[in-house]
Structure 1
Amino acid sequence: MVRKHIRPKGPQRGNATLRTILLLFTGSLLVLVLLAGFFTSYSFFRNYVSDQLAGHARDGATAIGLSLSNAIDARDPVASSSVIDAVFDSGRYLSISYLDHHGNEVAGRSMGLQEARVPPWFLFVVDLPLQVARAEVVRGWNRLGTVEVVSHPGRAYEDLWRISLWLILSTLLIGGVGLVVLYLLLRRTLKPLNALEKQAKALGNRDFRQRVTVRSTRELNLVTEAMNQMADDLGQLFEGQAKLIQHLRKVNNEDPVTGLDSRSAFDQRLKVEVESEEKSAPGALMLLHLAGFADYNQAYGREEADRLLVRVAGMVREFAGQHSGAFAGRRTGAEFAIFVPGVMPADADVWCRELVSSVDGIYADLASPMDTAVHAGLTRTREGQGVRDLLAAADEALRVAQSSDETGCHVADGGKDGFHNLETWRVIINQAIREKSLSLWLQPMVRENQDEPVYHQVFSRIVNPEGSLKAGIFVPMAERFGLIADIDRLLIERVLRRLANAPARPLAVSLGSASVASDEFRQDVVAMLRTAGPEVKNLWVGISEQTIHHHRTAVGLLVKALGRLGVPVLVDRFGVGGVPFSYLRNLRFQALRIDNSFIHDIDTHEDNRFYLESVVSIAHSRGVKVFATGVETAAEYSVLCKLGIDGAMGYHLGRPYAADNHSIGDQ
């Protein structure tokens, strides 16, 4: 059973970081300590100034009392007033009063607090207590009266104001420097946490390359070492799983000697190309046979015979690589099969003879002095023709070629061509691009127990007076003429327009290999998607595995650009490209779409079922979805559902329909 991963719906919000919490707590504690120190110092200085003010008043009262008692006649108001005026004019007193026995003022002076050079609010806040100092005025044994003195608090307020300013400035300075030092210390100490967070996110995205190199405290260093070790272990685990998948693919679908497709794998792919309604297209099947190979094997031994097959297979593989969409396989012994889509019979005849001549040169050199020959049978596809009839026609053509002892290629009787010639195709495709006469056909990618499709796969068709031309027919021609980028550009333009009208209905498009390899196309498409708005997140872009293999750098640039725009990307025709599965470590794909050839008769094909089960398990462990195409029967779909597939598409689940004539919701 495939384990499903539950992901959070969105990033967590409102959670404070550890650094913030420590900074707030420690900073608050520092501020509280400084404030406590400030108020303690302020209270001490306020009490000190108040005591100084009271002492000054007592000293003044005592001095005036003695002056009135001894120096002058205190009973004379004029003399008493002169003494008080002399003292008061020093400006150090707020009031001086000389009172008789009955409390009546004999002489006195007073003034307000306006002379204090401090803000008015400071006077209100500080509010120093005005203590009255008293002294007795006596003459001999006679008590003449009482002197009451209040010192002027102006200087006290000014001194306290200066002290308060210095306390505030020193508190702010110490607090500011302390907070900055605390911030820098926490930043340096907790710096590995930022790297650990990035590493954790990378692991969540199944990227095991992220490493933490920042050193800090002993505890954090132990955590970073453990995380790095875990990332290494997971990376090695994935690498091992990827190698296992690659090995399974080779065992199930590759010939163990030549590395070409095995007979069953070739026949499955050929069936998809020939019999699928969307893919059926003009093409040519070539069967190539080395005559006298059994004698060569007996004369030179099995190892030399295998070396010969490997060299011939290399030439066959090179030939297939020169033609877009072509694929090759080894059928039996020294017989090879090659299918080239979108090729005219005349061109196929020329290419076949060139390949036969090249193979014959190698075979004759290695087998000398034995007599050797290379024979080939060539036949083209026809409308309504099944894969069995196509193989039978190619076998018959090969037998005709083998009737001669000389190397040669025989082309089966084509009868009526049934397809346009090259120049006509060029005119049709150029006219379609110029007039934008491209129609969209949609096929749903469905998921079990889900009403709405995951997305709709978009197929393009050219509107022609003779009828609607399927993509499988004109795309190989467009790739041959170098026009596929214009077709894909027009397709994306039409798809974006449809997404703008129905943004909640995801669509998927597949790009041609030449389009992906073009820098100009990539820049144009990224610009189109950037200006399209948020609905581009509902557009799936498919890139074939063979394109990834041949244009790794261009694919990487395109995938990263699409990732920045939030456009999901899937690997199309997964399994037939022969690419090591490890590319998922370096490129962020959101899904794999298994090639039809692996889905055909999967209910009875144990090897393909085991292979697909392994792919689903590893892909899901990296957060990558797995889709299947070419589902033709209920039995196939039942097996796929049990394997935990994320979506499936095929005639059993829904046939393609014209987007312009139906709404997506109708399906």
Structure 2
Amino acid sequence: MFTALHERLATALPEGRHLPEEVWRRRHRAVLRVAGGQAVGLGVMALLLGRSPLTAGLLALAVAYPLVFTVLPGAGRGLRSAAATASLLAASVVLVYLMEGLTEAHFHFFVMVGLAALYQNWVPFGMALAVVLAHHGVVGTLFPQAVFGHGSAQHSPWTWSLVHGAFVLAASLAHLAAWRLNEQQGLRDPLTGLANRTLLLETTARMLARRSGPTSVLFLDLDDFKDVNDSRGHAVGDELLTTVSQRITGCVRSVDQVARLGGDEFAVVVAGSARTAAEVGERVLGALADPVVVDGRAIHVRVSIGVADSTSAGDRSADTLLRNADLAMYLAKSSGKNRVVVYAEGMERAAQAKAELITDLDSAVAEGQLAVHYQPTVELGEGVTTGYEALLRWQHPTRGLVPPLEFIPLAEESGAIVEIGRWVLTEATRQAAQWSREAGRPIDIAVNLSPRQLLDDDVVSTVRAALADSGLPAAQLTLEVTEGVLIDDVEAVVDVLRALRGLGVRIAIDDFGTGYSSLSYLRRLPADVVKIDRSFVQDLGSGGRSTTLVASIIELARSLELEVVAEGVETEEQHAVLGRLACSHAQGYLFGRPQPAAVQDPATSVEVPLPRTEALLAVRS
């Protein structure tokens, strides 16, 4: 019961947060002007009331002297605000003395308590309340005529001290309420009700100052949240954020604080080590594993989480801690998303290199650093090249050839993939049209569409324009999408794919079997081609389960009248097994590596027939 009462009281009372420096200085200057004016005014008042110049000077000095501590070198906020408050309260004591305990003179204490409350700190505010009680009780007992102006109070100074203290406390409640509301204003996220960045940093700084042990921060960023806003609308996005905030809050302890930093970014300050914080992060991943249902439709939520604690920071500051957690979060994203990563030394340098690479990527298209290489797709039954897959390459001016696995995720994350993808599509369709004219037969081209292109960009208009500009028949263009695009909003993806298919192009599901979809998705997707991931193809012929899995995928695709392309074929053994399984098409180093367009020559393409026995088996099956 006592604990519950204490928590309720702590919630109701203001925290005594630090005001922004400029706000504090402005208020402090106002208090100093009042204090200085009172010192001069009370000295003059003493002279007018017939006191000697010496007495008047001493009274003025008693009010002004505490102000000396406000200008001491190195004096902090606490000392300066306490000294200014002491001057204010000394003025109230002197005024009551000069007025010989007149009741109305005590009203001055009310005004001084209000001025002390401007600091929004418990030290000056507590001083004001304590001085009122001490002055009325102690001084009223020793010198009753100097404090109280009527006989009943002079005979019972402590009783009247409590009476006056009760009135001051009652007036203080109004100051406390205003103080509390002022603290909350601008410190809470209006959508979720969570703390915002300012309050989080203040809480973290306070925890770092009070605790000798480690303090940790989690930085959380929802993966691909922009796609939800773009495809479902901001109202759905807001409802999703509210639900996510509730689930995160349910994973932390009462001593921890959850904040929304803005957009789809959240943070949690944890009183504990990085290990404790990582456990909180794992609970958050578990809590968000269940989809969020909005307007009757399920949205799968994934979140990347970075963790940093004060032991790994160069200094014990809230800003450093949050920055380190942010860096760890970005590593979580680049490592595959939906995971927890703990900050370690060297991440800052890696993040800087990554930021430089993103900056360079923004100008790569304009400066001609990007190129399209083409890898042949072979029809296994006849062993002839039927088309090519367009693959992006980046020749950096100083770094050399940057691997696609390194820069494609960065382009996806930064949004540069939309412009880059548009350029690749234009180049690939133009090249396929040229090859078709030179070869005198249709040459197909396959181009990858990223998830951001699929949902962010007006991809239908982009594809239509590329086909029109190049003159390539739509049936010769295959657009490849990975299974990962299906996890966020299947219906939205299906709608876009249907619109693309309406143009006459073909749709391929790339890396099939490794993503998030189930086989049942194939019945719903407007797909024409299934591409078997290279990880399955590499194990063909080794006696493992891959042969059974590949056979099942081929059989399923055949039942749905889908074409099958096996990726990553590198050996004759893999080639032979695919022939026995009646796989229709394949790609891989066995047939040709990705090369610039100038190297490829579809008109004189080398045929790669199956061994005679395997070819007969394939035809018979």
Q: Same fold (TM over 0.5)?
A: no
Task: Give the TM interval when normalised to the shorter protein.
Answer: 0.3 to 0.5
TM-score, with length taken from structure 1 = 0.39
User: Which structure carries more relative contact order (alpha carbon 8 Å, separation 6+)?
Assistant: 1
- TM-score, with structure 2 as normaliser: 0.42
Looking at CA atoms only, which structure, 1 or 2, has the larger radius of gyration? 1
